[in-house]
């Protein structure tokens, strides 16, 4: 597929939802006026192609953190700021992301995992949901005890990536 064809590809509801969330977050951060938000929301919701959708959000910053440790552990727990997109690339690490007491400014968070031999545990706040359909495992395993569909007013986490020999566990906080 050429670059021109990729930009002309039809957008999905998930693509629209992600763009709408970015627009709303940018308005809340003071990056867009109410009039701009209204114009861009209309454009995002009626976009048919990726090019149309990108025209609405391409100048807005996306909150991204990319962690690439050597080996050992990655732990985020307690009072930490959760980015809109968290990418973790690791060969041997054990990852523990506890969002139960974290500062989460977005209604949806995307977590991309690339774990070769490591394992990951994601602890969600009570009432939060997680979609793990974007995770591919080869020799590893995956367990999610959280609701799979977004609930109005609650955090929704989309997890994607590859766990070659690793294991993923997603659950809600016991607190």
Q: 126-137, pLDDT tens digit by residue?
A: 999 999 999 999
Q: How far apart are CA 133 and CA 72, in angstroms?
A: 27
pLDDT at 4: 41
Token pair for 41: 């929301």
Q: Mean pLDDT for each consecutive 10-residue tract of the chain (175 residues)? A: 52 82 84 93 92 88 81 88 91 92 90 91 96 92 93 92 92 88
Q: How many CA atoms lie within 13 A of 98 on its CB side?
A: 10
pTM over 0.85: no
Query: What residue spans define the domains of the chain?
Result: 3-57, 64-172
């Amino acid at each position: 597929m050429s670059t021109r064809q990729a930009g002309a590809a039809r957008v999905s509801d998930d693509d629209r939802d992600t763009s709408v969330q970015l627009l709303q977050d940018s308005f809340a951060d003071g990056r867009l006026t109410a009039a701009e938000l209204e114009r861009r929301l209309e454009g995002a919701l009626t976009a048919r192609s990726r090019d149309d959708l990108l025209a609405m959000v391409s100048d807005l910053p996306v909150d991204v953190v990319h962690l690439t440790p050597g080996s050992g552990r990655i732990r985020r727990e307690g009072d930490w700021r959760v980015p809109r997109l968290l990418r973790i690339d690791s060969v041997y690490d054990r990852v523990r992301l506890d969002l139960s007491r974290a500062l989460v400014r977005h209604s949806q968070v995307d977590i991309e995992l690339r774990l070769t031999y490591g394992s990951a545990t994601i602890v969600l706040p009570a009432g939060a949901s997680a979609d793990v359909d974007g995770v591919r495992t080869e020799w590893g395993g995956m367990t999610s005890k959280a609701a799979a569909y977004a609930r109005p007013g609650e955090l929704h986490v989309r997890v994607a990536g590859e766990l070659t020999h690793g294991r993923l566990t997603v659950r809600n906080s016991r607190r």
